[in-house]
Structure 1
Amino acid sequence: MPINPPAPERTQHVLAQLEQYASLQIGQLAAARRLLRQHPSLPLDSFGISSSITPEPGRPQHSLILRLGAHDTAGITAWARALDTEPLIDGARHRLNTALDDIGIWASATVPETEYDMDQAAFTPTADDVTDTIGGLLVTDSGDDGDLLIIGHPPVRDVLAATSAYYRETCGLRLRAFDGHVLADNIHRDWGEFVAYLTRAEWRFNSVTEDAPSAVPVTWMYARDSHSQDIGAPAPCPACRRPGRGLDYHPQTGQRIHLCPSPLCGHQWPVDTFGASPNLTRKNDAVPPLADTTNGANT
């Protein structure tokens, strides 16, 4: 454990840094002085502060953050025991979370990857580890492209149903294929390893071979290879009467329009909240500008 005994000059430097916080409370400053006075040999780089307008029941409103080295878990343990408590260990993350004179005392450090037993940290996900359970499938979103990761190798129809439900209920969108593909083309089977690092709530996924000891079957739905479309309240197509929820914008006027879900119909009509008669357009016709439904309603 690194020991940095704060000499008087260093103590003053650390306190001077702390006093620069505009929202510093007197109690936080007093707690910092007491910690430096009573535990001069414990590792400490600097202080930070935090406050909560509505703290949880039993929790202090104001806290003092002890900044140690990012991987100084031994330092976390030393501070915890000096304050008559034990470190809170969740996976590779070690935390100090206590109070002193009604001021919260908080610190955190993590075990480096090179020193952490990743094999022991591997696990099989449950419903508590993923974004949602849809149709009995464990589904979690992945990355910024909207890709979905599904635990197991379920049938294609179940993957498509779960994908549709996720985008409809969570995102308010419909996921549609483009460039002559179908959504089933975006489904990819794989094997992966789930590792509780830094913690199980912050797990990471590694692709592995099927024969790996911790291999878990997974299915990817790659949304980045699709087109997402806004959806609204169900509305019947005025031409073929097929109900649909697809919404888009007219390419020329920018007006909000409904899209018929039938590939054989392909009609488009304005989202008309004023009761004007819809101006229909067939898929294979030239697309004229849609009528201004507001003016239409007032004529």
Structure 2
Amino acid sequence: MPISPATAHHRQRLIEQLERFTTRDDSQVAVGRRLLDDHPDLPLHGFGIAHSMEPELGEPHHLLIVLVGEHNTHAITAWGSALGTEPVIDGARHTLTTVLDGIGIWATATIPEDDYDMNQAVFTPTIDDVSGTYRGLLVTWIGEDGDLLIVGHPPARDVLSAASYYYRNACGQRLRPYNGRDLADSIDRRWGRFVAYPTRTEWQLRDAAEDTPGAVPVTWMHAQEGDTQDLSSVVARCPSCQRPSRSLDYDPVEGHRVHMCPSPACRHRWPLSDSPASSLKEHA
């Protein structure tokens, strides 16, 4: 692709931008100047900087990020050639990583979806592609609302069991129905295709008809439609009915945390300070 030389004004703007970023050490500025001086014909939209507090052995403490454009993979190749290294290609993402004068150089760009063979990127997920397994089910947390995705169409009881296990162990919460809903109503069975775009570790799931090549059965557990309840790290007995409980709630008047009896017939609340630790091994 054609590459336009940087104008003197553009070069000065990039240096001023970099100087504003670097307040402690001018070594990144020096490397930025060198890149502009040695390779004026290569595309460069801007700089970024990063620092590592505990870098791996042999890795630089300071990083200079070279911004070439979100989808300009040709620029990544050109910079790699100029700096004597080969970009790392992972799926649609091209990444340049090298070191110059003790400063790490990093740049990345991704092939646009329209220019990438999505059919070749379709894959069948394995345990390495999900958050974990539960009773043989491939389970992953997905989205920002706490939804769970399960590969396959397992029975509802297995879906609810997996959701309960996840919320208890990963979130320290109990998932409960509310407003008269049944948690099983939040189960949504579909078919979809897993697409390794931009990379397999950052895959996408796209709805598909059952007879679409590469489609696999998937089950969504829309957990945000349930009521999550925090769990205490200790088990205490309800002063009213003596049932063991880890359930926590907020006092609607005082606004502080309280224990809550899990029994629907009791629902007694009592202060945390009045809840001695228990050696019970079975949690409510």
TM-score by length of 1: 0.84
Runs (4 or more) in structure 1 with deviation over 6 Å come to none
1:244 is displaced (CA, Å) by 3.0
Change (3 A) 1:170 1:43: same
Question: What is the aligned partner in structure 2 of residue 66 from structure 1?
Answer: 66
Question: What is the aligned partner in structure 2 of residue 55 from structure 1?
Answer: 55
Question: What is the aligned partner in structure 1 of residue 245 from structure 2?
Answer: 244
CA deviation vs aligned residue, 1:98-144 (integer Å, no higher than 9, x gap): 01111111111111111111111111222222222223222112222
Change (3 A) 1:252 1:100: closer
TM-score by length of 2: 0.88
Question: What is the aligned partner in structure 2 of residue 40 from structure 1?
Answer: 40
Q: Let me know the Cα RMSD of the aligned residues.
A: 2.1
Give distance in 2, aligned partners of 1:51 and 1:255. Answer: 40
Give distance in 2, aligned partners of 1:198 and 1:239. Answer: 56
Question: What is the aligned partner in structure 1 of residue 261 from structure 2?
Answer: 260
Q: Does 1:75 align with 2:75?
A: yes
**Match of 1:198, as an amino acid?**
P
Change (3 A) 1:74 1:236: same
Change (3 A) 1:25 1:177: same
Contact 2:236–2:275, Cα closer than 8 Å, also in 1: no
CA deviation vs aligned residue, 1:231-283 (integer Å, no higher than 9, x gap): 222333444443332222233444544333333x324130343469xxxxxxx
Question: What is the aligned partner in structure 2 of residue 204 from structure 1?
Answer: 204
Give distance in 1, aligned partners of 2:39 and 2:205. Answer: 41
Identity of matched residues, % = 55
Give distance in 2, aligned partners of 1:97 and 1:71. Answer: 17
Change (3 A) 1:272 1:46: closer
Contact 1:259–1:266, Cα closer than 8 Å, also in 2: no
**Match of 2:56, as an amino acid?**
E
Query: Which ranges of structure 2 fall in alignment gaps of 5 or more residues?
Result: 277-284
1:198 is displaced (CA, Å) by 1.7
Contact 1:257–1:268, Cα closer than 8 Å, also in 2: no
Give distance in 2, aligned partners of 1:269 and 1:48. Answer: 52
Q: Which has the larger radius of gyration?
A: 1
User: How many residues are aligned here?
Assistant: 275
Query: Which ranges of structure 1 fall in alignment gaps of 5 or more residues?
Result: 277-299
Question: What is the aligned partner in structure 2 of residue 195 from structure 1?
Answer: 195
1:51 is displaced (CA, Å) by 2.0
Question: What is the aligned partner in structure 2 of residue 175 from structure 1?
Answer: 175
Give distance in 2, aligned partners of 1:270 and 1:125. Answer: 46
Instruction: Please state whether the residue corresponding to 2:21 is helix, strand or coil.
Output: coil
Question: What is the aligned partner in structure 2 of residue 123 from structure 1?
Answer: 123
